[in-house]
Every structure is written in structure tokens, then in C-alpha cells.
């Protein structure tokens, strides 16, 4: 098994992982930072397969010795559980084991300012990323500004929506815009860049 990061050997993925494998592993790493959920991962034993209700993707999670290995597809002899997106993961079925996995895949969102800081740090050096990123919380009009320069991009939304989008939830940045979770001030070309930035957080954050 290959470690996702040097710090989080608790969660490992197969070589050449699929997008869903990367996203599930990223969510499990976030859960591992919460003592209660880390204890749940440590105490879980068994194999669970999750099949997306939105497309043909599926993943198998193997829990053993306090670790979890995430791989694509459905393991032989395992009945897959339904994996829904609201906008992140919800597991349907599977009894106690399915309920435990559902909790692992639903960690609390970070504060929107923390999510914004990480979003900036992961993407600021990426090609085409705006020189200045402005995040505006519509709950109280609080804003945080990262960087400076002529190329500015703004993201507006409630605290909850900002936390979700900037943490890599939703299938894509465009979906978040389309359902009205956030609004933006910027160019069409910048939207394309932000889609890539969102995926970078979703799959590698």
C-alpha cells in the first residue's frame, strides 16, 4: 500500500488512484484529524464497497490494524452500499459498519476562514491562478483577502457554503456555482482556473 502523505499513513490508496479514491481518501484524512473519528477508524475492521448513485464509480475500503486502504471498484463477494452526494458523501445501508463509514465520510467542516487559507496555500503558485483572491462571507459581509495584484477573483457565499466549496466538497466548482451555493466576481477564464483549483483541493487537499 502507498501512503497518501508522510503524516497520514493511517489512510493509504492504490497506485494510480481514480478521482473517487482520491476524494474518499482526502475525506478520511480529514476525519482522522478528529479524535472521535480517528478512534472510529482505528476500531473498525472489515471491507466496505461504496457505489456512486451519480455515475459508474465505486470504491472499496479495507479496514485492518487501525488503517484503511482505499481502492477503486467493488471487491469480489462484497455487496456495495449506495454512495450519495449532499454535496459530500452519505452512505445508505450496511448496518453498523455502513453507519460507521458514513460517519467517517462526514467530518465537520472547518471554519470558512481556515478553508479559505488552505485553498489559497494549495493553489497560489498554480499557473493562471488569480494574483489576488477575495472571499466574502454573506452572513456578515466579513471578507478575507489573499495576495495582491491586478488579476482578482472574488467568491461570495454563506459561511457553510464557503467552508464546503473551499474544502473541496461538491463534484466541481461549476456545480457549486450552478446550484447557487456561491457566487463569483471574475472572468470566464478565471472560472476554468478555479475549477482546477477546487479539484486540487478535492483530490489532494
Q: How does DSSP assign 52-113, residue by residue?
A: ESSSS-EEEEEEETTEEEEEES--TT-PPEEEEESSSEEEE--HHHHHHHHHHT-PPPPPHH
Domain 112-204 has CATH 3.30.1050.10: yes
Mean pLDDT of 17-32: 92
The C-alpha atoms of residue 45 and residue 38 are separated, in whole angstroms, by 13
Say how many Å lie between the first and final Cα of the chain, rounded. 20
Give the pLDDT band (50/70/90) at residue 201: very high
Helix (H, G, I), strand (E, B) or coil at 2: strand
pLDDT of amino acid 182:
97
**Helix H or strand E encompassing 180:** none
How would you class 118 by CB atoms within 10 Å of its CB: exposed for 0-12, middle for 13-18, buried for 19 or more? Answer: middle
Is a pLDDT exceeding 80 seen at residue 32?
yes
Query: Top-level CATH class of 2-104?
Result: alpha beta
Is a pLDDT exceeding 70 seen at residue 173?
yes
Is a pLDDT exceeding 90 seen at residue 181?
yes
- Where do you find CATH 3.30.1050.10 in the chain? 112-204
pLDDT of amino acid 157:
97
How would you class 11 by CB atoms within 10 Å of its CB: exposed for 0-12, middle for 13-18, buried for 19 or more? Answer: buried
Q: Looking at the DSSP assignment, which residues form a beta bridge with residue 58? A: 51
Give the pLDDT band (50/70/90) at residue 33: confident
pLDDT of amino acid 9:
57
The set of residues, in sequence order, having a beta carbon less than 8 Å from that of 71 and lying 6+ positions away, is 13, 14, 17, 21, 59, 60, 62
pLDDT of amino acid 205:
62
The C-alpha atoms of residue 108 and residue 191 are separated, in whole angstroms, by 27
Q: Does the global pTM surpass 0.75? A: yes
Q: Looking at the DSSP assignment, which residues form a beta bridge with residue 182? A: 157
Is a pLDDT exceeding 80 seen at residue 80?
yes
Cβ atoms of residues 10 and 48 within 8 Å = no
Mean pLDDT of 151-161: 96
Give residue for cell 479495507.
62
Mean pLDDT of 155-182: 93
Each residue's pLDDT tens digit, 115-127:
999 999 999 999 9
Give the pLDDT band (50/70/90) at residue 101: very high
Amino acid at each position: 500500500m502507498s501512503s497518501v502523505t508522510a503524516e497520514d499513513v493511517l489512510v493509504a490508496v492504490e497506485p494510480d488512484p481514480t478521482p473517487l479514491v482520491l476524494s474518499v481518501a482526502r475525506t478520511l484524512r480529514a476525519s482522522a484529524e478528529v479524535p472521535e473519528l480517528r478512534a472510529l477508524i482505528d476500531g473498525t475492521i472489515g471491507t466496505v464497497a461504496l457505489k456512486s448513485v451519480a455515475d459508474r464509480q465505486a470504491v472499496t475500503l479495507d479496514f485492518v490494524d487501525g488503517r484503511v486502504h482505499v481502492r477503486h471498484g467493488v471487491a469480489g463477494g462484497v455487496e456495495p452500499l449506495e454512495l450519495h452526494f449532499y454535496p459530500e458523501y452519505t452512505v445508505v445501508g450496511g448496518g453498523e459498519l455502513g453507519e460507521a463509514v458514513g460517519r467517517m465520510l462526514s467530518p465537520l467542516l472547518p471554519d470558512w476562514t481556515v478553508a479559505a487559507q488552505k485553498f489559497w496555500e494549495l493553489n497560489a503558485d498554480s499557473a493562471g491562478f488569480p494574483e489576488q483572491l477575495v472571499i466574502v462571507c454573506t452572513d456578515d459581509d466579513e471578507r478575507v483577502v489573499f495576495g495582491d495584484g491586478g488579476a482578482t477573483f472574488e467568491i461570495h457565499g454563506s459561511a457553510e457554503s464557503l467552508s464546503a466549496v473551499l474544502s473541496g466538497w461538491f463534484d466541481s466548482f461549476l456545480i457549486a456555482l450552478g446550484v447557487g451555493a456561491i457566487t463569483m466576481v471574475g472572468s470566464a477564464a478565471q472560472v476554468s482556473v478555479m475549477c482546477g483549483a477546487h479539484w486540487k483541493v478535492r483530490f489532494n487537499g
